[in-house]
Amino acid sequence: MSEETHDQWHRAVCKELEARVKARTFLVWVKVTPGEGGQGSATTPGEVDPTAWETVAESAQGWLEGLDQNAVDHQNPPKDELRLADVVIELTASPKNTKRQGSGLLIGNPYPGVVSFTESYSTGPAPAFDDEA
């Protein structure tokens, strides 16, 4: 599978989940692994039936609604695996802070290979460089 096809699948899955999943208490990271397009399988996201997208979104919604934010181990966040045609979709959920729950983006990595943050994660200025060490 080409990198371009992989990127198409990643962007399509993120777009569909962002549009269809209403639960907004977690930020979700997506990892998409396209199959080889066996007989009868969709080889591009455009070939996927809209009802299949809805089924995947409903599964993700149900999984997210079943998670307890207070019970999440931040070192081992909850994961789920969904399938669409012969594509494996791995989801990892991270609780949003209290002020951002119920709003904002669902997907934390809408583009493959790029991590996006919705808040500042700066730790402050770098310590002074000691060139005598």
Per-residue model confidence as pLDDT tens for the chain (133 residues): 678 888 999 999 999 999 999 989 999 999 999 876 555 566 789 889 999 999 999 999 999 999 998 888 888 999 999 999 889 999 999 998 877 777 889 999 988 765 544 444 444 555 666 666 5
CA–CA distance, 119 with 41 (Å, rounded to integer): 39
Collect all residues with Cβ–Cβ distance below 8 Å to 40 and sequence separation of at least 6. Answer: none
Q: Is pTM, for the whole model, over 0.75?
A: yes
b/e code 107-125 from CB counts within 10 Å (16+ = b)? bbbbebeeeeeeeeeeeee
The per-residue pLDDT for 101 is 78
The per-residue pLDDT for 19 is 95
CA–CA distance, 66 with 68 (Å, rounded to integer): 7
The per-residue pLDDT for 40 is 55
The per-residue pLDDT for 120 is 44
The per-residue pLDDT for 102 is 77
- Tokens representing 105 are 């983006």
The per-residue pLDDT for 130 is 61
